[in-house]
Structure 1
Amino acid sequence: MTPLVGIVLVSHSAEIALGVQSLVEQLSSGRVVVATAGGTDDGGLGTSYSRILSAVRTADAGAGVLVLPDLGSSVLTARLVLDDHPDTHAVLADSPFLEGAVAATLAAASGADLSAVVKEAEEARHINKF
């Protein structure tokens, strides 16, 4: 079986990351590896370099990893992780967190390559709700 693009959800809140993970895993019938890096190492609100790095490694099935941060320091910390580990085949997406996660996971589940998954996530910002 061809490996699929993995997804990493980086949020200031472990609960938010786990909730979005639950949703998108159900939408993809569990075909896509979706890892979370929510909160700090001590369980508080914030971001964690080590959690992001671990999640990227977990999500990497060989087709690349899309990293979706929620806001602020999650973007900065995720950038730092990717800059410090250029050997990882991971891309940071500038997309809305929930909508981007849904679009990216569905694209990954269909077998899209990393560039197409990134594009779907980033284009999610243009989806009208009504």
Structure 2
Amino acid sequence: MTVGLVVVSHSERAAEGIVEIAAEMAGETRIEAVGGDGQGGIGTVPDDIGEALAAVAGEAAGGAEADEPPADGVVVLVDLGSAVMNAEVAIELSDVDAVIADAPVLEGAVNAAVAATDPSATLESVREQAEAAAEISKV
């Protein structure tokens, strides 16, 4: 199974920065950033999250780079409460096999990116590694 990632933040710039960091560890894993309210403000939009899910799964134009294989499943990392709700809505409306990781968004994205490079990665194993980031001490 090939597992991709979607990073959802209330800030478009934050999501892009997190993806930039995680991509350093991701090899050919597809990762999409999605954030903001679609009008340059803070927030999240279910339709935008759904488009990112489709892009990672290779179902939409303008998605991840062509040399990255489409994902069979997607782990979604979110920053704050309403991002969870909007990601849940997007997943329900999508045909993509996706799960939300209950993980710190940056550390979880990095852990998930590393885990997704494993040839035996599964949706559950990548989510578990993202969630394991909650136990990492920074000091």
Alignment of 1:109 with 2:107, yes or no, is no
CA distance in 2, matches of 1:90, 1:27: 21
Alignment of 1:37 with 2:45, yes or no, is no
How far residue 82 of structure 1 moved from its aligned partner, in angstroms, is 1.3
One-letter amino acid matched to 1:37: V
CA distance in 2, matches of 1:99, 1:9: 11
How far residue 36 of structure 1 moved from its aligned partner, in angstroms, is 1.1
For residues 26-65 of structure 1, the C-alpha deviation after alignment (integer angstroms, 9 at most, x for no partner) is 2224x11100111111121100111100000111224200
How far residue 22 of structure 1 moved from its aligned partner, in angstroms, is 0.7
- Superposition misfits of 4+ residues, deviation over 2 angstroms: none
TM-score under structure 1 length normalisation: 0.91
The equivalent residue for 2:14 is 16
Query: Aligned residues: percent identity?
Result: 39
Matches within 5 A, 1:1-130: 4-29=2-27, 31-60=28-57, 61-85=70-94, 87-111=95-119, 112-130=121-139
Asked if structure 1 preserves the Cα contact closer than 8 Å seen for 2:30 and 2:71, the reply is no
CA distance in 2, matches of 1:81, 1:27: 26
CA distance in 2, matches of 1:92, 1:42: 25
Stretches of structure 1 lacking an aligned partner (at least 5 in a row): none
Stretches of structure 2 lacking an aligned partner (at least 5 in a row): 58-69
Q: Secondary structure in 2 aligned to 1:50?
A: helix
Asked if structure 2 preserves the Cα contact closer than 8 Å seen for 1:63 and 1:113, the reply is no
TM-score under structure 2 length normalisation: 0.85
How far residue 4 of structure 1 moved from its aligned partner, in angstroms, is 2.3
